[in-house]
Amino acid sequence: MKEKIRRLLSHYGWFLRKTPGLPAGVDLEHDWHALAGLPQPRVIFDVGGHRGETCERFALGFPNAAIHSFEPVRDNFAALNARASAYPNITCHPLALGARRERIAIVLQSDSQTHSLRHRAVDASAPAETIDVTTVDEFCSECGLARVDLLKIDTEGCELAVLAGAHALLTQRAIGPVLLEASLDEDDHEHTMLADATKLLCPFGYRLAALYDQVMWRDPTRLAYFNALFVPAPHA
């Protein structure tokens, strides 16, 4: 009977699995408590909020956390703000986070998920938008936040810049697990290399714990990009 139900759900595009014995890398909230044994997060940063997909998931999975979602592009921010309005624990900020405070023009991409600080506007004919950038350290200092319990970064290849802007808090061991988008494909010039993220985070006591949301390229078939969870050592 269980197998019939599983196959029926699969026919309609659903996958059912018991959480006991669930392998790491499937469900972040489950791994957070069951595998990593981490305390309930109180402050979460969703850097690269896009249109609210991730912060909504965090609001449901971590209902007691104060979630700050950052999205600098106007159309994306409007959609993010509308989606987040249903959750009182989400605050949206029309900002990008990077290595330094600045105001820059970026070229808008055809896919709303791929806007990036890497695409600086140099051609006046290109569709562009001027955005404000600050750092994790400066934002926390100005808002009186002493700690970030989960730092999620999806910034289309600018993850290391966000971490550079969090140097003071990383040095103080005031940032919990880091979830960032990365790649192992050396031909991928759009995403942060996992080795580079590991090299930056290891001196602060972080170790790679799990991979989520793995995307596969075809022709040839290979692992494209994914979200990598780094967890600080208990003594860090």
Q: What is the pLDDT of residue 219?
A: 83
Confidence of residue 215 (pLDDT cuts 50, 70, 90): very high
What 8-state DSSP symbol labels residue 113? G
Judged against a pLDDT cut of 70, whether residue 214 lies above it is answered with yes
**Residues 6 or more apart in contact with residue 68 via CB below 8 angstroms:** 43, 44, 45, 46, 90, 91, 93
Residue 125 is predicted with a pLDDT of 66
Q: With bands split at pLDDT 50, 70 and 90, how would you rate the model's confidence at 218?
A: confident
By the 8 A CB rule, do 92 and 80 touch? yes
211 has pLDDT over 50: yes
Please name the helix (run of DSSP H) or strand (run of DSSP E) that holds residue 230, with its range, or none: strand 222-232
The rounded distance, in Å, linking the Cα atoms of 232 and 228 is 13
Per the model's pLDDT, the better-predicted residue between 135 and 188 turns out to be 135
Distance CA 111, CA 99 (A): 24
| Whole-number Å distance between alpha carbons of 96 and 11 | 41
**Quick one: tokens of 213?**
């949301």
Distance, CA of 203 to CA of 232 (rounded, Å): 10
- Looking at residue 26, its amino acid is V
- Sole residue written with tokens 């997060």: 41
pLDDT of residue 107: 83
CA of residue 140 relative to chain centroid, distance: 17
Domains by residue range for the chain, with CATH: 36-232 (3.40.50.150)
* pLDDT tier for residue 187 given thresholds of 50, 70 and 90: confident
Q: Where are the alpha helices (DSSP H) in 15-73?
A: 28-30, 53-61
CB 173 within 8 A of CB 134: no
**Residues 173, 205 contacting (CB under 8 angstroms):** yes
* Per-residue pLDDT at 84: 97
Query: Could you tell me the pTM of the whole model?
Result: 0.91
pLDDT at 236: 46
**Per-residue pLDDT averaged across 214-219, rounded?**
90
User: What's the CA gap between 145 and 170, in Å, rounded?
Assistant: 14
pLDDT in tens, 22-66: 889 999 999 998 878 899 999 999 999 999 999 999 999 999 999
